[in-house]
């Protein structure tokens, strides 16, 4: 019998009528001959209210008690949902995370799932019951209640779909699918029929709150097709699976994360081990670092900048100050008035000029870029918070996201792709790892050179002018890093093919006078190493492992770019082979 997981978010169960409507949807699926597992969030804004209540008592609630409190929201919803289904004349049973057997680690308020037992669920389903699972919660080894992080009910749903090898995982919410950007922020946002796991993974972690990013990690790892749909109307929704909507378009979506804060540790000794010390310290606090921007040092010191969510700034600053003292760095600076705007697209990897087009759109809208990081399928810029919406609108328009893509790819829109037929033993083996880090590949690219433009005025339009000139010269730019400016001057580094190094150097020298920047420096031969996999950024230890193993081999990291699916580092060309073998060893335990 087919099995469907249906998840209902907070707005979809906000009052008794909505709970009854959701119950009717599940009953319909059951009557159509499916086994049904519902995953339910707390009603309406209940989780926010609970967070607020805790805040009225203390500024520092302990994680364990926070989880005890927050998990009650979902407990209310599942009980009411079971009653609703009973009232419709069907059998149903509500279950908490503990009753299902969702085991997690003990990182309170952002726990990761370790295993899920399926016996009780299966038994109830085989008895013809609709199972109603509380989203967002589990228990650790000591039976303490844990929660998976805000928005985590999506992850519960996809994880249950994975362990039960469900035929479909439907996410019911207050929008009728995934849009090119948040439709509440930009009314020109366009509905997308199909989005790839990789794009959704990036979009979700770059601020597209429609799906919890870890749910997409799960979906990709276990090939769970997701269908995001509207609770309150019958519309086709969006399928999240392997293929993108429009592979030829460079950009498929844009995201805004408004609540970012930048931290810069100035004057860090530019030597192996410094970055590792910094990011290990931050990770000890279980803070997920977002944009990491480390540019080549000068005069034996480098500045290391990164962003975190604004809520975590206070804890981050404490840790950053301690590590700065320990390393003998000059000081720690921060800015909590920043936002991150990103564009994402699988097509970007195959096209040149995407970065330049984004920088031009921002320059024309008068938006100053504070930091830049890129990866194969995304470009993120940090901007002042009050410029965030202007920036989002500008890039959304520049990449024609408000317009339908060419019709060719629209056909398979409503069809859920079949699950991979999988060998049961292999599935069990993978499931034992659940949310653990999974590395697919570690590669070394020895074809690149690095160029660095220092003294870049911190005003709109400079990045656009540089990358337009570089593109006009027919030069293919790979990785771009713009670090936070000191005294109003920023530094932009990027990599190009070695054969184009001299041409690019000369071109930049010619440009430096006009743009009032410089000097230009570079290295004609660098090694770029890429670690690819799933969950790289949400697993805080990935950057640390990368830095740690390179540091212990005495290799200094010149540039770093991180994304959800890849961590790129650039080191001196002569260290390439050694760096590759260090990384292979460091990640041996999580290679797929």
Contacts with Mg ion by CB under 5 A lie at 9, 151
Among 6, 11, 47, 523, binds ligand ASP (CB under 6 A): 47
The smaller minimum CB distance to ligand ASP, of residues 22 and 391, is found at: 22
Give how far Cα 309 sits from Cα of 185, 199, 206, 268, 567, Å: 19, 21, 11, 23, 20
Please say which residue, 47 or 375, places its beta carbon nearer to ligand ASP: 47
Minimum CB distance to Mg ion, residue 212 (Å): 6
Candidates 62-70, 173-181, 314-322, 389-397: pick the segment binding ligand ADP (CB under 6 A): 173-181
Q: How far apart are CA 546 and CA 590, in angstroms?
A: 13
| Residues 174-193, interacting with ligand ADP (CB under 6 A) | 174-175, 178-179, 181-184
Does residue number 42 form part of the binding site for ligand ASP (CB under 6 A)?
yes
Question: How, if at all, do strands 226-230 and 238-241 pair?
Answer: antiparallel
User: Based on the number of CB atoms within 10 Å of its own CB, is 222 exposed (0-12), middle (13-18) or buried (19 or more)?
Assistant: buried
CB of 63 to ligand ADP, least distance (A): 22
**Stretch 82-141 residues interacting with ligand ASP (CB under 6 A):** 135-136
Q: Which is nearer to ligand ASP, 67 or 245 (CB)?
A: 67
Select from Mg ion, ligand ADP, ligand ASP, none the partner in contact with residue 222, using the beta carbon and a kind-dependent cut-off of 5 to 8 Å. Answer: none
DSSP SS3 for 286: coil
Pair type for strands 102-104 and 113-116: antiparallel
Residue 41 in contact with ligand ADP, rule: CB under 6 A:
yes
H and E: helices and strands count for the chain: 17, 26
Q: Give the interface segment with ligand ASP, choosing from 98-106, 150-158, 268-276, 319-327 (CB under 6 A).
A: 150-158
Partner from Mg ion, ligand ASP, ligand ADP, none binding residue 522, C-beta < 5-8 Å depending on class: none
- Rule CB under 6 A: is residue 77 a binding residue for ligand ADP? no
Measured CA to CA, the distance from residue 7 to residue 10 in angstroms comes to 10
Radius of gyration of the chain (CA): 24
Would you give the end-to-end CA distance of the chain in angstroms? 31
Using CB under 6 A as the binding rule, whether residue 150 contacts ligand ASP is answered as yes
Q: Backbone phi, then psi, for 442, in 5-degree steps?
A: -130, 125
How many residues bind ligand ADP, per CB under 6 A?
18
Q: Say if residue 557 is preceded by a cis peptide, omega within 30 of 0.
A: no
**Considering beta carbons, is residue 257 or 478 the nearer one to ligand ASP?**
257
Binding of ligand ADP by 236 (CB under 6 A): no
Which residue number, 135 or 535, has a Cβ lying nearer to ligand ASP?
135
Work out what residue 42 binds among Mg ion, ligand ASP, ligand ADP, none; the CB cut-off runs from 5 to 8 Å by kind: ligand ASP
Q: How far is the CB of 9 from Mg ion (least distance, A)?
A: 5
Regarding 44 and contact with ligand ASP (CB under 6 A), the answer is: no
CB of 358 to Mg ion, least distance (A): 28
Q: Is 553 strand, coil or helix?
A: coil
Least distance to ligand ADP, CB of residue 183, Å: 6
One residue of 44, 73, 252, 485 binding ligand ASP per CB under 6 A: 73
In the complex, least distance from residue 211 CB atom to Mg ion, rounded to whole angstroms:
7
Q: Does the footprint of ligand ASP cover residue 153 (CB under 6 A)?
A: yes
Beta carbons within 8 Å of 137's beta carbon, 6+ residues apart: 67, 70, 71, 74, 96, 97, 98, 102, 145, 146, 147, 148, 156
Of the two residues 82 and 148, which places its CB atom closer to Mg ion in the complex? 148
CA-angle at 284, arms to 283 and 288, nearest 5°: 30
| Binding flag, residue 210, ligand ADP (CB under 6 A) | yes
Least Å distance between CB 285 and ligand ADP? 25
User: Is the Cβ of residue 278 or residue 394 nearer to ligand ADP in the bound state?
Assistant: 394
Binds ligand ADP (CB under 6 A): choice among 4, 5, 11, 346? 11
Instruction: Give CA–CA dist 363/356, Å, rounded.
Output: 10
Q: How far is the CB of 155 from ligand ADP (least distance, A)?
A: 11
Give 152 or 253: the residue with its C-beta nearer to ligand ASP.
152
The token pair that represents 490 in the structure block? 């920023």
Closest CA to 580 of 541, 523, 527, 535: 527
Decide whether 48 or 404 has the Cβ nearer to ligand ASP. Answer: 48
- Residue closest to Mg ion (Cβ): 151
d(CA 454, CA 550): 26
* Interaction of residue 151 with ligand ADP, rule CB under 6 A: yes
C-alpha span between 381 and 555 (Å, rounded)? 28
Q: Shortest gap between Cβ of 406 and ligand ADP (angstroms)?
A: 21
* CA atoms of 510 and 521, how far apart (whole Å): 13
CA distance 293 to 490: 12
In the complex, minimum distance from the CB of residue 527 to ligand ASP, in angstroms, rounded to a whole number: 42
From 352, 306, 357, 371, select the one nearest 333 (Cα to Cα).
Answer: 306
Total length of the chain: 592
What distance in Å separates the CA atoms of residue 133 and residue 126, rounded to the nearest whole number? 16
As a whole number of angstroms, the distance between CA 304 and CA 273 comes to 13
Would you tell me which residues interact with ligand ASP (CB under 6 A)? Answer: 9-10, 41-42, 47, 73, 135-136, 150-154
Binding site for ligand ADP (CB under 6 A): 9-12, 41, 151, 173-175, 178-179, 181-184, 208-210
């Amino acid at each position: 019998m087919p099995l469907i997981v249906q998840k209902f978010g907070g707005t979809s169960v906000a009052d008794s009528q909505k709970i009854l409507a959701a119950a009717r949807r599940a009953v319909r699926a059951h009557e159509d001959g499916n086994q049904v597992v519902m995953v339910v969030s707390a009603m309406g804004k209940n989780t926010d209210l609970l967070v607020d209540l805790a805040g009225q008592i203390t500024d520092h609630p302990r994680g364990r008690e926070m989880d005890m409190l927050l998990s009650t929201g979902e407990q209310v919803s599942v009980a009411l949902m079971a009653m609703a289904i009973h009232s419709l004349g069907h059998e149903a049973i509500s279950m908490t995370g503990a009753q299902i057997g969702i085991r997690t680690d003990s990182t309170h308020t952002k726990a990761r799932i370790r295993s899920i037992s399926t016996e009780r669920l299966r038994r109830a389903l085989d008895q013809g019951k609709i199972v109603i699972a509380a989203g967002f919660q589990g228990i650790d080894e000591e039976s303490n209640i844990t929660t998976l992080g805000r928005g985590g009910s999506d992850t519960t749903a996809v994880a249950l779909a994975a362990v039960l090898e469900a035929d479909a995982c439907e996410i019911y919410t207050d929008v009728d699918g995934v849009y090119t950007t948040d439709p509440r922020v930009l009314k020109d946002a366009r509905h997308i029929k199909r989005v790839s796991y990789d794009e959704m993974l990036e979009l979700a972690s770059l601020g597209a709150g429609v799906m919890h990013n870890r749910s997409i990690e799960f979906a990709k790892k276990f090939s769970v097709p997701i269908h995001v749909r509207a609770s309150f109307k019958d519309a086709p929704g969006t399928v999240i699976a392997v293929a993108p909507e429009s592979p030829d378009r460079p950009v498929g979506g844009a995201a805004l994360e408004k609540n970012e804060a930048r931290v810069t540790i100035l004057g860090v000794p530019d030597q192996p081990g410094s970055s590792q010390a910094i990011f290990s310290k931050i990770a000890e606090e279980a803070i997920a670092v977002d944009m990491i921007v480390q540019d080549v040092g000068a005069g034996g010191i480098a500045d290391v900048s990164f962003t975190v969510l604004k809520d975590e700034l206070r804890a981050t600053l404490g840790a950053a100050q301690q590590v700065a003292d320990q390393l003998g760095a000059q000081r720690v600076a921060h800015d909590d008035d920043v936002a991150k705007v990103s564009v994402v697209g699988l097509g970007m990897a195959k096209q040149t000029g995407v970065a330049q087009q984004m920088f031009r759109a921002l320059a024309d809208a008068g938006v100053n870029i504070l930091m830049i990081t890129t990866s194969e399928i995304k470009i993120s810029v940090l901007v002042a918070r009050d410029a965030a919406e202007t920036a989002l609108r500008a890039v959304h328009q520049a990449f024609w996201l408000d317009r339908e893509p060419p019709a060719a790819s629209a056909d398979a829109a409503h069809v859920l792709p079949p699950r991979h037929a999988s060998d049961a033993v292999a599935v069990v083996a993978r499931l034992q790892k659940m949310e653990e880090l999974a590395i697919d590949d570690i590669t070394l690219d020895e074809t690149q050179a690095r160029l660095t433009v220092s003294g870049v005025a911190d005003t709109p339009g400079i990045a656009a002018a540089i990358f337009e000139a570089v593109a006009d010269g027919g030069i293919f730019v790979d990785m771009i890093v713009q670090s936070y400016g000191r005294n109003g001057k920023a530094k932009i580094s990027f990599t190009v093919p070695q054969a184009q190094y001299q041409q690019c150097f000369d071109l930049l020298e010619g440009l430096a006078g006009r743009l009032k920047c410089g000097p230009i420096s570079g290295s004609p031969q660098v090694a770029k190493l890429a670690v690819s996999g799933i969950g790289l950024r949400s697993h805080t230890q990935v950057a640390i492992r990368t830095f740690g193993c390179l540091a212990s081999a005495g290799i200094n990291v010149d540039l770093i770019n991180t994304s959800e699916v890849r961590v790129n580092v650039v080191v001196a060309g002569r260290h390439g082979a050694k760096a590759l073998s260090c990384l292979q060893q460091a990640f041996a335990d999580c290679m797929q």
